[in-house]
Amino acid sequence: MARWSSRFGFLLATVGAAVGLGNIWRFSAVVGTNGGGAYLLPYLFAVFVLAVPLLVLELAVGRTLRTDVVSAFRAVGERYAVLGIAVVAGVVLVVSYYLVLTGWVLAFLLGALAGVERSFTALTAGWEPIVTFLVVTVLSGATVSLGVSDGIERLAKLVMPTVFLILLGLAVYVVTLPGWFPAVSFLFTPEFDVLADPRLWSAAFGQAFFSLSVGMGIMLTYGSYLDEGTDLLRSSVIVAAADVAVALVSGVVIFPIVFSYGFEPTLGTELAFVTLPAAFAAMPFGRVVAVAFFGLLFFAALTSVVSMVEVAVATLTSATSWDRPRATAVLTAGLCVLGLPSALSYSPVDLALGGRPVLDIVDESVGTFGLPISAVLIVAVFAWRWGETAPRRELGALWPLVRYVTPLVLLTATAMKAVGLARPAWRLLLDHARNGSSSALVGGLFGGAGLLPLLAVLLIGGAVTSVLGVVLWSRGILTTKRRQREGQ
């Protein structure tokens, strides 16, 4: 059975899974569009009160059952196996487009290294993003293939300290910029009157769960490689604190740059791919800063991709007789195919369904609705149906939070998004890239019903779940293990 080689290694790998594009790019976009400091209060509340208990739950389930997501669901009841498959399907779909975004980051990094300046539109007009998407997919597959401690943990040990160092270096550099002071006051001045706006809370909750990577079985899988002695609550608080710290410092880096070069902080997700490259082009040592920034973003994203790939590989190896390298190879090939429609939707092919780029459809449906639904499934099965007391012991007085408060808040926030009261932040970049106007961007922020994406998630999720279910079933996961147990 695979294990982390040390607690520190586990912490770095888990922080690596949590810290990703979400902290650096999405966080700044969400803060900017939600009026700066006002947003921090609900965000911190959501991270520490709602998401941390779920993180502890997932780690405790993983460590107690020492198995992959689908087998863990099946351990509670044979009939829950299909819910486990749905959770894994959600992760597979999220990683299929997260790989495309990471490919864009790699393309910008290579561009900065080579000294080529390109706009987002110019970049996606060529084939390079498709190539970088494939490169990232193979790279993450290769890492996972090496194993838990030799691949995932080693990557995190190599890359996460680099991420922290680059971030600190950039944070020191931006103090020299004229926009530093206004930016920092924008970021940290709480405006209490906007706290009455439920959309702010909904945005903060979505961001907190996304940013910590909870609710998708990732932490369950990482918990299954953890030793008995580790304190789960303490580890979860450390991971959450690191995650929040990276997000805040990224804000402290990004906003001074935005303010100093006369850009709007409220432009949303286009910050990373449109605003910042423009600012880098204008600033002294801009190329160095661009390499540092996109390098940071790339490393952070890669460790998150790897965590998602691991969820699927762990499930595949336990479902089949395949060893890790073979399961990873099959999955990597599958992801190259599954991610292709998203990769092709911002390319010369302009792949779209009903006028919407496929990447948008997958993001709106799975990215926005898949995660909360998957989190609720985990709570429903492991906090309600599971007789085991391990999570309750780990959480102590915080147990009611994960049993009642977190699922209630998730359901409410998801329902609000479904009726179109709130919109995800990734969308803004994509809307902007299409319409080329920032008013459309802001107008797009809260407009439009979300019922269609919800329907889409049920359809896409259902389709992928069925395919995965048939594959796993035909490989024996749903039958062999049952026979094994009956034979005992």
Interface with ligand PHE, residue 28, by CB under 6 A: no
Q: For residues 261 and 426, which CB has a smaller minimum distance to ligand PHE in the complex? A: 426
Distance CA 128, CA 346 (A): 11
DSSP class of residue 396 equals: G
Shortest gap between Cβ of 366 and ligand PHE (angstroms)? 10
Distance CA 276, CA 347 (A): 21
Distance CA 14, CA 155 (A): 12
Among positions 56, 65, 85, 94, the unique one binding ligand PHE when judged by CB under 6 A: 94
Q: How many CA atoms lie within 13 A of 434 on its CB side?
A: 17
Q: How many CA atoms lie within 13 A of 142 on its CB side?
A: 8
Among positions 104, 210, 382, 426, the unique one binding ligand PHE when judged by CB under 6 A: 210
Q: For residues 308 and 468, which CB has a smaller minimum distance to ligand PHE in the complex? A: 308
Q: For residues 47 and 319, which CB has a smaller minimum distance to ligand PHE in the complex? A: 47
Q: How many CA atoms lie within 13 A of 330 on its CB side?
A: 15
Interface with ligand PHE, residue 22, by CB under 6 A: yes
Q: Decide if 96 contacts 85 (C-beta within 8 A).
A: no
DSSP class of residue 420 equals: T
Interface with ligand PHE, residue 20, by CB under 6 A: yes
Q: For residues 23 and 224, which CB has a smaller minimum distance to ligand PHE in the complex? A: 23
Could you tell me the CA-to-CA distances from 101 to 136, 256, 296, 466 in Å, in that order? 10, 24, 14, 26
Q: For residues 304 and 317, which CB has a smaller minimum distance to ligand PHE in the complex? A: 304
Closest CA to 445 of 250, 227, 203, 221: 203
Burial, 436: exposed, middle or buried (Cβ in 10 Å; 0-12, 13-18, 19+)?
Answer: exposed
Interface with ligand PHE, residue 248, by CB under 6 A: no
Interface with ligand PHE, residue 426, by CB under 6 A: no
Interface with ligand PHE, residue 406, by CB under 6 A: no
Distance CA 158, CA 79 (A): 41
How many residues touch ligand PHE under the rule CB under 6 A: the total is 14
Q: For residues 296 and 478, which CB has a smaller minimum distance to ligand PHE in the complex? A: 296
Q: For residues 371 and 402, which CB has a smaller minimum distance to ligand PHE in the complex? A: 371
Distance CA 36, CA 29 (A): 10
Binding mask 185-204 for ligand PHE (x = CB under 6 A): --------------------
Interface with ligand PHE, residue 218, by CB under 6 A: yes
Shortest gap between Cβ of 378 and ligand PHE (angstroms)? 12
Interface with ligand PHE, residue 308, by CB under 6 A: yes
Distance CA 471, CA 95 (A): 19
The residues in 323-382 that bind ligand PHE, with binding defined as CB under 6 A, are 371
Judged by CB under 6 A, the stretch of 1-9, 68-76, 210-218, 273-281 that binds ligand PHE is 210-218
Distance CA 124, CA 121 (A): 5
Q: For residues 338 and 478, which CB has a smaller minimum distance to ligand PHE in the complex? A: 338
Q: Is residue 357 within a helix (H) or strand (E), and if so which, with residue range?
A: strand 356-357
Interface with ligand PHE, residue 221, by CB under 6 A: no
Distance CA 410, CA 407 (A): 5
Q: For residues 211 and 275, which CB has a smaller minimum distance to ligand PHE in the complex? A: 211
Interface with ligand PHE, residue 299, by CB under 6 A: no
Interface with ligand PHE, residue 23, by CB under 6 A: yes
Could you tell me the CA-to-CA distances from 124 to 20, 110, 385 in Å, in that order? 22, 14, 47
Interface with ligand PHE, residue 304, by CB under 6 A: yes
Could you tell me the CA-to-CA distances from 5 to 81, 151, 324 in Å, in that order? 30, 11, 18
Q: For residues 179 and 424, which CB has a smaller minimum distance to ligand PHE in the complex? A: 424
Shortest gap between Cβ of 306 and ligand PHE (angstroms)? 10
Binding-site ranges for ligand PHE (CB under 6 A):
18, 20-23, 94, 210-211, 213, 216, 218, 304, 308, 371
